[in-house]
Amino acid sequence: MSKHIELEARYCAQNYHPLPVVLTHGEGAFVWDESGKKYLDMMSAYSAVSHGHSHKRLVKLVQQQVERLNIVSRAFYTDKLGPFLEKACTLTGQDAALPMNTGAEAVETAIKAARKWAYTVKGVAHDKAEIIACSGNFHGRTTTIVAMSDEPQYREGFGPFPPGFRLVTYGDIDSLEAAINENTAAFLVEPIQGEGGIVVPPDGYLKAAQQLCRKHNVLLIADEIQTGLGRTGKMLAVQHEDVHPDGLILGKALGGGILPVSMFLSRREVMAVFRPGDHGSTFGGNPLAAAVGLEALNILVEEDLPARSATMGDYLLTELRRMDTALVRDIRGRGLFIGIEVDPTLCSARTVCEKLMSRGLLSKETHATVVRLAPPLIIDKAEIDWAITQIREVLGEIDKLRLAS
């Protein structure tokens, strides 16, 4: 076994179950392991590497900024934060933003904003505010956020949990309507559930949710940490339904595949609930992260990565759906955000990922049944064609073994 795998097994908490490959370098849509073997990265760090590994413009900018100014905390203004947030707000149609580092912190920020808005603007009674989330959601791993989860493993052993959350069935608008009451502050939703297994809700769901939220004075907050910034073929996944949320959460690709950069964005009225000292983060909005974030957004626009995701994603989805195999129950997604759901009685998603890995294609199962395909948005057609061949052959191999046994 590799020395590096042994070291992690010995010294690292076993809170992940990585595929047995030790990566040492990356470029564009590819990564290399310690023996020099090349892999196509169809995982891209859960969409954090939408720009590809070590994008030239980002590397150059980091080299320049690292020598100028990196961390000062928000105790002072910098020449980097304002331009970054201005760009993020204009791109997404939001009025203001609060910068953080990881996705979970930005979700926590959204929860705080929604609750304080409920008390100070909507008039909800003290400590009664409720946030509605969806079955199958994934919004991060803090103790408050896992309180919203219905995945037993995310919660087991980590209670007690804070109150103030209510779950509705994802994709079911009647379930949402029934859950709204006078204490409802916000409806928090992923436009497509990523960790839940690339679950696409029925057409019109988000639009109907927006109408319900407007009618009942409830904030619609879209968690686009994974779906945002071009992943689904539009800059934001809510744009597929022409929806404009009251709050928006970004992360992952916002850091250009280089740094953790996240933010909560919203209308003025919502962001205005924050006063100096209410909320913060030592590293949030630091000049290095802000410079990287601004360049990451500029690259998305200038290279038109959302359109590329739409074209390449359509192509990949169509070709995958033409596969003739008994192992697959469903293939779904939007843009370069695709899940292949296998029949768990016939094979495991983990086995598919292991076999793909030995052929030089990296992906990762989500839950036991879904193989996630979310490559860097810069991937080209030849690379996609190669990936389709590998996937078809691996499924064929597993099927042959199954029939022979």
Q: Name the minimum Å distance from CB 97 to ligand PLP.
A: 16
The residue at minimum Cβ distance from ligand PLP is 103
- Angstrom distance (rounded) from CA 319 to CA 323: 7
194 is a site residue for ligand PLP (CB under 6 A) = yes
Which of residues 78, 149, 210, 226 is near ligand PLP by CB under 6 A? 226
What are the CA-CA distances from residue 81 to residues 263, 270, 286, 295, 366 (Å)?
Answer: 12, 20, 7, 12, 35
Residue 337: which region, alpha, beta or left (left: phi > 0; alpha: psi -120 to 50)? beta
205 is a site residue for ligand PLP (CB under 6 A) = no
H, E, C per residue of 234-300: CCCHHHHHCCCCCEEEECHHHHCCCCCCEEEEECHHHHCCCCCCCCCCCCCCCHHHHHHHHHHHHHH
Which of residues 138, 170, 187, 337 is near ligand PLP by CB under 6 A? 138
Q: Which stretch of DSSP H or E encloses residue 332?
A: strand 328-333
Q: Name the minimum Å distance from CB 233 to ligand PLP.
A: 17
Q: Which of 134, 44, 153 is nearest to 372 (CA)?
A: 44
Q: Pick the closer one to ligand PLP by CB: 107 or 200.
A: 107
Instruction: Decide if 252 is catalytic.
Output: yes
Instruction: Decide if 223 is catalytic.
Output: yes
- List binders of ligand PLP among 95-124 (CB under 6 A): 102-104, 107
Which of residues 49, 134, 148, 225 is near ligand PLP by CB under 6 A? 225
- Angstrom distance (rounded) from CA 188 to CA 131: 7
- List binders of ligand PLP among 157-176 (CB under 6 A): none
Q: Which of 30, 138, 264, 337 is catalytic?
A: 138
SS3 content of the chain, % helix, strand, coil (to 5): 40, 20, 40
369 is a site residue for ligand PLP (CB under 6 A) = no
Q: Determine the distance from the C-alpha atom of residue 278 to the mean position of all C-alpha atoms in its chain, rounded to a whole number.
A: 26
Q: What letter represents residue 143's amino acid? A: T
Q: Pick the closer one to ligand PLP by CB: 140 or 328.
A: 140
140 is a site residue for ligand PLP (CB under 6 A) = yes
Instruction: Decide if 278 is catalytic.
Output: no
Which of residues 99, 245, 251, 375 is near ligand PLP by CB under 6 A? 251
Q: Which residues bind ligand PLP (CB under 6 A)?
A: 46, 102-104, 107, 138-140, 190, 194-195, 223, 225-226, 251
Catalytically active residues, by annotation: 138, 223, 252
